[in-house]
Chains A and B, each alone.
Chain A
């Protein structure tokens, strides 16, 4: 009995070890590139970091000969010009090592430096960010000095070393980034644009997908081909289709505007991607429609309807046919069948789709960035992250925006896992 249990225990332990071994590589890379950066984001968002601070601070040394001896007995005066390359990151354990040319006797050297057997070494300790300094060294030149060739640019072949502490590594935290982001005039408009864009993009892509799935939910020759065609917008590289849309809609050379103006549909060219609003007059009531935002939403609906289409089509094909037959016998018209038989069975897949699309559209960066660059009222939170971090070189504020984005998203993810059954 005990022996058997021991054997089984040993097998289980081996299985556990094997499992961990097999999962380790995948887990490591995902942790390093996905989970760790998310944590790092929180860290960076609590620091005031600029793009320029990312390069590790280095200690820089330049030698300058101040006074050159003419004959033995003269003084040789040398300066070391010192600089911390980073305006903010400190460097610790800064140290200089140099080899003196032969025939030099130290006269006056800095107290932090020592000369031993023709070698000069200086311990300079810690430099704060932006440190600038100078070391003056004075030697008496003996006859040997004039024998050797002197390298004018670095007569002592000095090397400087030090351990940099990047801005990221320090332990000072601040909430300044969050204050800056939340009090900026761009945050709330960007938040609302994101919501409109996300809801609009999700709803329209799902509606289009539902319509498309209805069309192909029948067997006819060419159905497979059509299904493949319908996926085109989704599998094409975003950069190719975004540039194609932008070119097609261009107010000056785009075909749509040229055609519409020629046929008198527009009075003058409309720049769909760079005009914030357009006035509509419907039955005497004037409307203002956000034009660029609507265009971007249309792009989103166009590009992602195939995703909804595939899911809904798969659901359609899993629906039992007899329910429809029964409904038809009972005299239900096609629209009634759709309303009372089809739609209830779609609720699950439609809500899953909505949540998925909502989360992914909320995250979207490429599409808007390539179409409008965030201009004309299409600036979403993701564009703000980019704008702070890379256009304004304020990495800290970018990370803070990303953290806010991530927190909002986490709420949606919780919702998703609460409401969507595991095998949906």
Chain B
């Protein structure tokens, strides 16, 4: 079967044998991934725990890869060949395992069929995709690396999607399950909608009403919104002065803004605690409304300054010449032009104030003043079921997530512009 590349012998690679081995490796990786993912999804979707024998998926993947490597037109495989190989693999898997390859048992035949066809067709498609534009009969080193990179990419996507989605999925599912169900079914990963909505949401009802989270939501929203307003007002004024006006010390100031942002919160906590205790600002929301703007102003000022610098000064000068006052220029020209930047800074400040834990934890003692993160601390006790704790976590997280997805474009711009802290 050896075919020698006629054109450039010096750069000729290995023969079709190597190519088929590479194809088989891609097939095995694809099949194992899809089978694992479908087993995982099944354990979420059905309340049955799949048992996985990896031997068959491994062999089938090998065959899939080799098959897709053989049935090729030039550097690519045809769609038809891929489809039929995938179907064949699924059928073989089903028949060899008595129509229940994942041992779902009572969950029913339809889940087995979905899992088998889904995973094998997807595996075939992934293999085809992994081998596209690659000449298997003449596999040079760089093409081999391309295949390896594609495998790595695939693994990377699975890995990152898992670590990014799973914790939040886990949070939501746990918030819907009472303790008795945990112990009964330690996989914990599915939601039994048959129990009825009101029973599912018991945790939320308890947390919102009995633990007064409804009140904390109000506190958190008030504090976060007020922080945004204060921070934006002061930072816009400051950033404008730093970019547009000349005054002694401008250079030093503009370089040291970010420096302030690196001051550790824990270093501030001890003296602020002492001072606030003495002047009676501890255990008030006003205390937080002083601390939050102060800690977010430097970065807000920095981000706005970077943006103002990109605005042409000519427009403002024209406005000044036409008889506008400075305030008029800022209000009518600068602010409308920088709305996107202001939106992103505002969102970012909201996020910080909403998520802030340390100062709220140290300063607030009276339950009627608690913000959400402070309220969460009280849920973390042996007497409170974990279900409630997770319901609380969902309640704290969801508003930030929604806001974030809504304004994602702005926020990403803001995050990169400011070199934002965390």
Q: Which residues of A contact B (CB under 8 A)?
A: 12, 15-16, 18-20, 22-23, 25-27, 29-30, 32-38, 40-41, 44, 49, 54-56, 166, 168, 211-212, 214-215, 224, 226-241, 243-245, 247-248, 253, 255, 258-259, 262, 302-304, 307, 310-311, 314, 331-335, 356, 359-360, 362-363, 365-366, 370, 382, 385-386, 389-390, 395, 398-399, 402, 405-406, 409, 413, 416-417, 422
Contacts and interface: CB of A to CB of B under 8 A. Distances in A.
Contacts of A395: 270, 274
Interface string B272-300: 11110110000000000011011101100
Nearest to A33: B294
Interface string B213-241: 00000000000000000000011011011
B255 interface: yes
B109 interface: no
Contacts of A314: 416
A233 B238 contact: no
A245 B237 contact: no
B34 to A, nearest CB: 18
Given A30-B260, A258-B186, A399-B270, A215 B237 contact: no
A15 B247 contact: yes
Nearest to A232: B164
A244 B163 contact: no
B373 interface: yes
Nearest to A334: B145
B259 A413 contact: yes
B246 to A, nearest CB: 6
A255 B188 contact: yes
Interface stretch (B66-74, B89-97, B197-205, B390-398): B390-398
Contact of B373 (A25, A239, A245): A239
Instruction: Please indicate which of the listed interface residues A23, A227, A333 has the most CB atoms of chain B within 10 Å of its own CB.
Output: A23
A238 B355 contact: yes
Given A168-B274, A248-B170, A259-B187, A22 B145 contact: no
Nearest to B255: A422
B331 interface: no
B410 interface: no
Contact of B241 (A19, A211, A236): A19
Contact of A228 (B240, B377, B404): B404
| Interface size range on B against A | 35 or more
B386 A41 contact: no
5 contacts: A26-B234, A26-B301, A231-B404, A232-B168, A253-B386
Give chain A's interface secondary structure class: helix
A231 B389 CA distance: 23
A35 B234 CA distance: 17
A418 to B, nearest CB: 12
B421 interface: yes
Contacts of B372: 237
A262 B49 CA distance: 12
A405 B269 CA distance: 13
B265 interface: yes
A30 B188 CA distance: 47
B351 interface: yes
Contacts of B297: 26, 29-30
Given A16-B248, A33-B294, A37-B271, A255 B186 contact: yes
Nearest to B240: A22
Contact of A385 (B160, B270, B408): B270
A37 B138 CA distance: 69
B380 interface: yes
Interface in B162-188: 163-165, 167-168, 170-171, 174, 179, 182-183, 186-188
A237 B397 CA distance: 6
Given A363-B266, A405-B266, A409-B264, A22 B237 contact: yes
B114 to A, nearest CB: 23
Contacts of B265: 363, 365
Contact of B270 (A23, A228, A389): A389
Contact of A235 (B145, B188, B270, B404): B404
B75 interface: no
B291 A33 contact: yes
Q: What are the 4 tightest A-B residue pairs by CB atom distance, in nearest-first order?
A: A33-B294, A363-B264, A258-B186, A40-B271
A315 to B, nearest CB: 10
Interface in B362-394: 362, 372-373, 376-377, 380, 386, 389-390, 392-394
Given A26-B301, A44-B270, A54-B278, A333 B291 contact: no
B262 interface: yes
Contacts of B295: 33-34
Given A237-B397, A333-B145, A25 B234 contact: yes
Given A26-B234, A30-B297, A311-B416, A230 B160 contact: yes
